Amino acid sequence: GAASIDVFPSAPIGRVSPYVFSGFLEHLGRCIYGGILPAGPTNFPHTPRRPCPPDQFTPTPPALLTPEGFRRDVLEVLRDELAVPMVRWPGGNYVSSYNWKDGVGPKEARKRRPELAWGGEESNQFGTDEFIAWCRLAKIEPYIIVNMGTGTLEDALNWIEYCNGTGDTYWANLRREHTGRDEPHNVKYWGLGNEVWGEWQIGQETAEAYAAKARQWAHAIKLLDPTVKLIGCGETGLSHWDGLVLEGLVDKVDGHSIHLYTGFGARDRSQVEKEFGRTVYGPDAAEYSIEICKALINKARFSKKVAKPITIAFDEYGVWDETVGTPQNGLEQFYTLADALAMASWLNVFVRQADIVEIACIAQSVNVISPLITSPTGLFRQTIYWPLYLFSRYMRGGTAVQVSVASPKYAGETLPAWISDIKGHPSVLDASATVHTTEGGAHSIRIAVVNRSETESFQVPLRIAFQGANFEDGEVEVHELWHADVNAQNGWGKENEVAIESSRARWGGEWTFKAHSFTLLVLD
């Protein structure tokens, strides 16, 4: 079929928030213990459902650790390659029975606790001060979720005073004693609970009960520290819960969270056609969620006369097949090229929705349904790492602009199936674009295109309607993620099986996008 893409640099959507390249660290599997800290006999495995006999335990050599004891390799990839701007912590479901007071002070005296969300025991060797120390080293803004399950408002207030207090008060002074410095942790972003709507959540509530409680908490928290940004707990963005919680909270918060995962990888060869489609078209559901959520936010702002903008924190997203990444294996999922194409579509969604999405946190940053997998002595980058890397590197700081795509439609099954009933069948080509202006006033355009056809390549005219700059001929910088096999994976011993190829090519206003590929074009 024929396809074309029109980019309209004079029709800006909004600036791409740097926080859409954020991450998430939860005390789950080998995320913290094994990913951020080396695993040790007392903290590995985090869950006894995956026992590791101490005599089989390989220690991480001290040379691979920072002086503070953190894994240097993970920290360097997150800081120097992905430039992750913000990280959400400590959960996730974990937070709903987390007592932050167990995780501060001398490490030998910290309480080991049963861990209720994922099973096993929590050593509390990584707590608030370690998280902040790690964030500082990694140049990352912390985003902390408070416990609205077993935790009280008083616990939350104490936590915020401990982190941000500058006065001569008990919890601020305790922080000074623990860290040996006067400087506060200065945690600006706080989330009001995790998935409080979910039946798996400790302290599940109805939307009405949550909204009433979160309102009281938000009121008290802003009395303690008016400078913090509060994120209310949303669901999928478009549910009954989202509507009610926004109505009840919109004047008390700064953002509303959404969680969504797409999955269903192409692992069963007999299901490849169906599964490939469900995998790569899955993120279209996220765009629908965001569009409806934006309308719900504005509806609530209208009825409550709230002038200030309320943004979306898509603070858990990613590709997760719950039959593959399970609690038994610490949610360790090995990703295919098809999953990477889905990841690129996820990021296209966040760029296209730049006017409302302020934060997006990939779930999760290491080992747990993650682009990075570690061993005691090294790491490899999964297929889904590469779209994140390219978007973070080339779309950050730009202004998202309107793109019009004419392409064949996908007629197969999508998940959820009703998305295509409402929105129409998805386009095989999925694109977003940003414009960047240098200090000298020169323009650069970046165009991200996912070809979600498994079999067909497209030769696509790319028209850029720009006054005052010529993008008709010259050279283009090309970054392409492709493999002959949509099920190809990276792994130990085949770390670069699926990786990007970067080149410069002649540019004549069109490009051929290979079947099942992701391409990012940079035009200067």
Q: What residue type is assigned to position 10 of the chain?
A: S
CA distances from 238 to 96, 244, 258, 287, 356 (A): 23, 11, 9, 11, 14
Distance of alpha carbon 17 from alpha carbon 1, whole angstroms: 35
> Minimum distance from CB of 92 to ligand AHR (Å)?
3
Per the annotation, the verdict on 495 as an active-site residue is no
Among 17, 60, 93, 147, binds ligand AHR (CB under 6 A): 93
Is residue 366 a contact residue for ligand AHR (CB under 6 A)?
no
Take residue 309 and report the two structure tokens written for it. 């903008």
> Minimum distance from CB of 19 to ligand AHR (Å)?
18
Q: Which CB sits closer to ligand AHR, 122 or 161?
A: 122
Distance of alpha carbon 201 from alpha carbon 95, whole angstroms: 10
Q: Which CB sits closer to ligand AHR, 104 or 145?
A: 145
Q: Which CB sits closer to ligand AHR, 117 or 280?
A: 117
With CB under 6 A as the contact rule, which of the stretches 90-98, 338-346, 439-447, 506-514 interacts with ligand AHR? 90-98
With CB under 6 A as the contact rule, which of the stretches 85-93, 128-136, 271-279, 391-399 interacts with ligand AHR? 85-93
Q: Which CB sits closer to ligand AHR, 26 or 454?
A: 26
> Minimum distance from CB of 15 to ligand AHR (Å)?
28
Pairing of strands 255-262, 229-232: parallel
For 208, other C-beta atoms within 10 Å of its C-beta total 13
Q: Which CB sits closer to ligand AHR, 197 or 507?
A: 197
> Distance between terminal CA atoms of the chain?
29
Cα-trace Rg, the chain: 23
Mask: binding to ligand AHR, 281-310, rule CB under 6 A, as x and -?
------------------------------
Q: Which CB sits closer to ligand AHR, 203 or 408?
A: 203
Burial class (CB in 10 A: 0-12, 13-18, 19+), 325: buried
Among 221, 363, 401, 449, binds ligand AHR (CB under 6 A): 363
> Minimum distance from CB of 96 to ligand AHR (Å)?
9
For 173, other C-beta atoms within 10 Å of its C-beta total 14
With CB under 6 A as the contact rule, which of the stretches 8-16, 91-99, 218-226, 233-241 interacts with ligand AHR? 91-99
Cβ-based neighbours of 27, under 8 Å, separated by 6 or more: 33, 46, 90, 91, 92, 94, 98, 115, 118, 122, 126
With CB under 6 A as the contact rule, which of the stretches 62-70, 87-95, 262-270, 382-390 interacts with ligand AHR? 87-95
> Minimum distance from CB of 316 to ligand AHR (Å)?
6
Q: Which of 205, 316, 358, 454 is catalytic?
A: 316
Is residue 120 a contact residue for ligand AHR (CB under 6 A)?
no
- Count, residues near ligand AHR per rule CB under 6 A: 9
Residue number of the CB closest to ligand AHR reads 92
Is residue 277 a contact residue for ligand AHR (CB under 6 A)?
no
Per the annotation, the verdict on 322 as an active-site residue is no
With CB under 6 A as the contact rule, which of the stretches 88-96, 184-192, 222-230, 459-467 interacts with ligand AHR? 88-96
Is residue 92 a contact residue for ligand AHR (CB under 6 A)?
yes
Among 194, 257, 382, 451, binds ligand AHR (CB under 6 A): 194
CA distances from 423 to 319, 355, 368 (A): 22, 20, 32
Q: Which CB sits closer to ligand AHR, 126 or 513?
A: 126
Q: Which CB sits closer to ligand AHR, 91 or 142?
A: 91
Cβ-based neighbours of 479, under 8 Å, separated by 6 or more: 390, 394, 500, 501, 502, 519, 520, 521, 522
Which one, of 393, 367, 361, lies nearest residue 382 by Cα? 367
Q: Which CB sits closer to ligand AHR, 118 or 134?
A: 118
β-pair partners for 475: 506
Among 91, 142, 184, 282, binds ligand AHR (CB under 6 A): 91
Take residue 36 and report the two structure tokens written for it. 């951020």
> Minimum distance from CB of 364 to ligand AHR (Å)?
6
Is residue 195 a contact residue for ligand AHR (CB under 6 A)?
yes
Q: Is residue 518 within 8 Å of residue 477, measured between CB atoms? A: no
What SS3 class is residue 82? coil
Is residue 427 a contact residue for ligand AHR (CB under 6 A)?
no
Q: Is residue 31 within 8 Å of residue 374, measured between CB atoms? A: no
Is residue 364 a contact residue for ligand AHR (CB under 6 A)?
yes
CA distances from 309 to 7, 193, 244, 254, 300 (A): 27, 21, 18, 7, 11
With CB under 6 A as the contact rule, which of the stretches 89-97, 159-167, 269-277, 482-490 interacts with ligand AHR? 89-97
Q: Is residue 370 within 8 Å of residue 326, measured between CB atoms? A: no
Long-range contact pairs involving 219-224 (C-beta distance under 8 Å, separation at least 24): 219/252, 220/153, 220/157, 221/156, 221/157, 221/160, 221/190, 222/252, 224/157, 224/160, 224/161
Which one, of 140, 61, 150, lies nearest residue 100 by Cα? 150
Distance of alpha carbon 286 from alpha carbon 68, whole angstroms: 39
> Minimum distance from CB of 30 to ligand AHR (Å)?
13
Q: Which CB sits closer to ligand AHR, 238 or 362?
A: 362
Q: Which of 130, 195, 358, 454 is catalytic?
A: 195
Mask: binding to ligand AHR, 19-38, rule CB under 6 A, as x and -?
-------x------------
Can you give the binding site for ligand AHR, defined by CB under 6 A? 26, 91-93, 194-195, 316, 363-364
Q: Which residues are marked as active site?
A: 195, 316
